[in-house]
Amino acid sequence: MDYSKLRNESDIRGIALEGIEGQHVNLTEEACRDIGRGFALWLMKKTGKTDLRIAVGRDSRLSGPDLVKWICEAMADEGIKVTNLGMTSTPAMFMTTKTEGYMFDGSVMATASHLPFNRNGYKFFTPEGGVEASDIKEIIALAESDERSGLEKGEIVNGGFMDVYSKRLADMIRAATGEEKPLAGLKIVVDAGNGAGGFYAEKVLVPLGADVTGSRYLEPDGSFPNHIPNPEDKDAMASITEAVKETGADLGVIFDTDVDRAGAVLSDGSELNRNRLIAILSAILLREHPGTTIVTDSVTSSGLAKFIAEKGGVHRRFKRGYKNVINESVRLNNEGVDSQLAIETSGHGAFKENYFLDDGAYIVTRLIIELSRARKLGYTLGSLIASLSEPAESKEFRMGIALDDFKPYGKEIIASLEEFAKTKDGWSLAPDNFEGVRVNLDESHGNGWFLLRLSLHEPLLPLNIESNDVGGVKIIASELCEFIEKFEKLDSKKLMEFAK
């Protein structure tokens, strides 16, 4: 058995259902049971304990009940006491290891985040947080082995946790405002995209007095019939924007399938995601923690860096990958550098005050607390980011590498581009860059920047371009073409066509 193809950095992902042509199930019952056994054995080795308690939850995916059943039975076979919590959010599953009265030794979430309906997977937690990529490798190695615990079979029981998790968020808002129903008079609409996020409207907002009329797709449906639950998806953002405008809402919020990411829409219909979401959270945290460092991924805009600096903060633009961003923020804190927020442009945001857990519902809760404060003091959420300089244009190209062993070729292209950039008039290498090549271009060469990096797992070189001028992205793309076109194994067709 080779389960290495199911490893997606720090979690497991695969095809769980037939239904898309050319895609065949590889997250089979056997694989799920082996991975459950692997996690049970790994956790026993890590903790030195054999009397372990593990919680299991799932999002709304159609394959979720089977994945939960198989992994629960496999872990129970190794002597684990397993609690099936049913439908939950990914952040809630981590909180089962931290909440008094629960305090599980580990937890598992069956999810594939925003991926298509036929995919699924597992995320694993201990009380220290989500497992690392190295841990997943060890879990897979145990799954591929014949090792068994030899313990007497454990029991499987059903339980619930979302009421407890929801009350924690609601109580945060109550504590911050000093009111029992602080959202009375506010209209807040939620778009859950038929994922697991509908609880936020029903269990957090309504008890606080908010009017959630006009909310969309709160009912779980793993076929995702309306739009992909993903704050980065254009159709998803169009849906929540439409809901805000139709209802005259004070705020609209949108979650991904398993609620570890979020986006929002302000009352004027403007989107609050990517750089804008990072900016508003940075403004809030820099008011509370002057001088703190905000760690982001590598594709944030130059305008965001300027905004954070103007607010008195430090911007650390690190690598793509939410675990990379979180781990860098944790590292800084361990070295005595205060870093209150680690956040990707995708909407994965983790607060120091919240165990560095990437939690979309926690992000939204923070925004709602600020909305309540703004209402009392007479300002708007939008005013917090009024000084944010946003690019006139931005575009991403994902260029495939036609080689099985793609990484050496990709690294060669990046190294060559770095040398090429040094010879080009109007180009300058960006300082403090930790991933790929980031180049700033002056006003006569597109007035913006580009970043070329190598994908961690896929044979791809993603290229991000931003410009402060209309038409600037095309100028930058054109200048890049003279370098890119000489690499025959790189599929740069879309870039070349765009640059014409």
Chain position carrying tokens 């059943």: 69
Fold of the domain spanning 393-499: TATA-Binding Protein (3.30.310)
- The pLDDT assigned to 19 comes to 79
Confidence of residue 348 (pLDDT cuts 50, 70, 90): very high
Q: Which residues does 128 contact at the CB level (< 8 Å), separation at least 6?
A: none
Region of poorest pLDDT, from 113-117, 147-151, 263-267, 301-305: 113-117
Q: Using one digit for the tens of pLDDT, what is the confidence trace for 167-177?
A: 999 999 999 99
Own/partner pairs for 140-144, CB < 8 Å, 24+ apart? Answer: 140/3, 140/4, 140/6, 140/7, 140/35, 140/38, 141/38, 142/37, 142/38, 142/41, 142/42, 143/1, 143/3, 143/31, 143/34, 143/35, 143/37, 143/38, 144/1, 144/2, 144/3, 144/34, 144/38
Is the per-residue pLDDT at 449 higher than 90? yes
What number is the average pLDDT over the span 61-71?
A: 98
- Return the SS3 of 429: strand
Strand pairing category for 341-343 and 393-400: unpaired
Confidence of residue 365 (pLDDT cuts 50, 70, 90): very high
Is the per-residue pLDDT at 8 higher than 90? no
The token pair at 219 is: 């009912």
- The pLDDT assigned to 136 comes to 97
Strand pairing category for 341-343 and 349-351: antiparallel
Radius of gyration of the chain (CA): 23
- The pLDDT assigned to 356 comes to 97
Strand pairing category for 251-255 and 437-441: unpaired
- The pLDDT assigned to 373 comes to 97
Confidence of residue 339 (pLDDT cuts 50, 70, 90): very high
pTM of the model: 0.95
Is the per-residue pLDDT at 490 higher than 90? yes
Q: Using one digit for the tens of pLDDT, what is the confidence trace for 21-51?
A: 788 999 999 999 999 999 999 999 999 999 9
What number is the average pLDDT over the span 253-273?
A: 97
DSSP E strand boundaries for 64-211:
81-87, 106-110, 119-126, 129-130, 156-158, 188-191
- The pLDDT assigned to 432 comes to 85
What number is the average pLDDT over the span 125-152?
A: 97
Is the per-residue pLDDT at 424 higher than 90? yes
What number is the average pLDDT over the span 47-72?
A: 98
| Share above pLDDT 70 across residues of the chain, in percent, rounded to a whole number | 100
- The pLDDT assigned to 337 comes to 98
What number is the average pLDDT over the span 332-360?
A: 97
Write down the domain spans for the chain: 4-160, 165-385, 393-499
The answer to whether domain 165-385 and domain 393-499 are alike in fold is no
Confidence of residue 325 (pLDDT cuts 50, 70, 90): very high
DSSP E strand boundaries for 27-152:
53-58, 81-87, 106-110, 119-126, 129-130
Q: Using one digit for the tens of pLDDT, what is the confidence trace for 87-122?
A: 999 999 999 999 999 999 999 999 999 899 999 999
Chain position carrying tokens 């809402």: 249
- The pLDDT assigned to 458 comes to 83
For 96, list phi and psi in degrees, rounded to 5. Answer: -65, -20
Fold of the domain spanning 4-160: Alpha-D-Glucose-1,6-Bisphosphate; Chain A, domain 3 (3.40.120)
Q: Taking every pair of C-alpha atoms in the chain, what is the biggest distance, in angstroms?
A: 72
- The pLDDT assigned to 39 comes to 98
Q: Do 120 and 61 form a contact (C-beta atoms < 8 A)? A: yes
On average, the pLDDT of the chain sits at 96
- The pLDDT assigned to 310 comes to 98
What number is the average pLDDT over the span 13-22?
A: 89
Q: Using one digit for the tens of pLDDT, what is the confidence trace for 398-409?
A: 999 999 899 999
> What is the rounded distance in angstroms from the CA atom of residue 397 to the CA atom of residue 462?
6
- The pLDDT assigned to 211 comes to 98
> What is the rounded distance in angstroms from the CA atom of residue 194 to the CA atom of residue 61?
9
- The pLDDT assigned to 309 comes to 98
> What is the rounded distance in angstroms from the CA atom of residue 159 to the CA atom of residue 81?
12
- Return the SS3 of 105: coil
Phi/psi region, residue 22 (left: phi>0; alpha: psi -120 to 50; beta: rest), is left
Q: Which residues does 439 contact at the CB level (< 8 Å), separation at least 6?
A: 421, 427, 428, 429, 430, 449, 450, 451
CA 290 to chain centre: 26
- The pLDDT assigned to 203 comes to 98
- Return the SS3 of 69: helix
Is the per-residue pLDDT at 456 higher than 80? no
| Share above pLDDT 90 across residues of the chain, in percent, rounded to a whole number | 95
Is the per-residue pLDDT at 457 higher than 80? no
* CATH code for residues 165-385: 3.40.120.10
